Chain A
């Protein structure tokens, strides 16, 4: 291909400055905090998984850099359709640690009542729609939401994040095709593995999208690409496909660590803040874990709810049967 990966973040903060970072200081601080919190959450949840307390957990690293950067570069009213690896985006869009853990552990208080795969909560206020198990379907949803924004004349964008398996699916084709046909305000962010030659951005060119090829471990490069794509989309310039190449083999998977020097250089962070933030985050996490464990599992009634807008007679009957079983188990029947 010969195309260079866009990258900004270097060990030398002055060089990073020279590369023109588009995030403002508030966003930069939020980005650093999100990445740090994601690392702490990841460590804890990986431990829970290892101990058999969670059946299924998809770690955020090395996706966290692109995940957090995209979520923070988007604006409040924008919609985000994440992949399985986007806990960082969940946190950046307003997700709370205790909600995340309640959902992960299927505990009472889980906002989705034990319905959804662990680690995949939705955030209506954050315009964040958890993915299904079907790879790539969210590409089409982002195109659809972006079309709705365009039809209604709303100046927002819709973004989808997905991985290489989605690129092989039909929704990649139909989603990009539809987005280009209607010139909708959408951003498609595909993470690919650095072990392979990047090919996704080139396909976007074929569809007629604007494309970007960025270093997916460089949160500032991803944030710049998303910010630029957003501005273009808002101006009616159509959708963008960003290929974020993620080299999972790099020792520098610690995205927060890579950003630290730059936020310190900007005067947004220091050792004291670091210590306080980490301690506060760990405390919050432990408190949340304790609360979730004492809450017990979600109620069984909840699994029969929210299938249709109103519970039809079949489910009412099945709920009554479930209640009878429960009473029998409790020795009350």
Chain B
């Protein structure tokens, strides 16, 4: 298949899956004629009509709650939250309803909603259009949390999300939307990480929007004689624990990358997991490379974001410990 951008790949996966399964409906503000704020739903209204592509108000509580109702009835709603930063007004529906309907009915009802959530900084969006809220979702039992980094994974993970029975928060790395890479029509299983580069000295764990910087850093480290395993998690919950332990057992050194706020973040969960399960293999303290404990600033965004230089420096520290 030709190269597609992530936005095009997600669009193609939606289109294919909507042809495959007539229960799939797309909803959100501007998902119709406009084709979504980032163009991800472009052309779907024309192709599938307004019974499959539904315009809603800009009220995330209403959007998520409507999707919950559609899913309860047996449809497969894909709801677009325009920016991750807007998800908070839908958070009650997400946490108390979407995530818990299966549990509170002990499986009598399920709620297979896919929430597409463009997230992350690096587009000059400032304080309210740049957040990485994944830790909040990961801390809520009942949700699968996905964060792809390229076209094939974005499309493939979305296919799996739409074929599963669980609610999925599908975090789309919006600063990579226009990046082109190899496309594929294969489904990618949820819960499986991808080893993007093999090395023996340091395990570098990244996901979503930070993967390109991680690969760049691994390349830079290689020129200095440090060989790095780059593990792209792809799914945050459930974590591919086997892949993580396999790598750390080999290298004994870990750098964890996440562009989210540091304290209480997903990298902290990874660090705790390594401490519990791999401490006897560790040759150096685990390092986190994350955003600051601040909202995402409009100015100096590049300093907030983990870039290849910061990641490379961390790799060198743990390698030379």
Interface residues of A (CB under 8 A from B): 79, 111-113, 115-116, 122, 124, 129-130, 132-134, 137, 140-149, 151-152, 158, 170-171, 173-175, 177-178, 181-182, 302, 305-309, 312-314
Contacts and interface: CB of A to CB of B under 8 A. Distances in A.
B109 A122 contact: yes
B130 to A, nearest CB: 25
B141 A307 contact: yes
B67 A306 contact: no
B77 to A, nearest CB: 8
Nearest to B27: A147
A306 B107 contact: yes
Contact of B61 (A122, A149, A171, A312): A171
B295 interface: no
Interface size class of B (residues with CB under 8 A): 35 or more
A145 B101 CA distance: 14
A132 B95 CA distance: 11
A137 B69 contact: no
B86 interface: no
Contacts of B106: 111-113, 115-116, 302, 305-306
A178 B62 contact: yes
A229 B40 CA distance: 39
A129 B109 contact: yes
Given A112-B108, A170-B89, A306-B103, A140 B70 contact: no
27 contacts: A112-B104, A116-B105, A122-B104, A122-B108, A129-B101, A129-B109, A134-B97, A140-B65, A140-B93, A141-B72, A144-B68, A144-B69, A145-B72, A145-B73, A147-B54, A148-B69, A148-B73, A151-B25, A151-B54, A170-B61, A171-B61, A171-B62, A171-B93, A175-B62, A175-B65, A307-B142, A308-B142
B75 A148 contact: yes
Contacts of A174: 57, 59, 61-62, 65
A122 B105 contact: yes
A148 B105 CA distance: 21
**Best-buried of B61, B69, B97, B164 by chain A (most CB within 10 Å):** B69
Nearest to A145: B69
Given A112-B108, A178-B56, A313 B65 contact: no
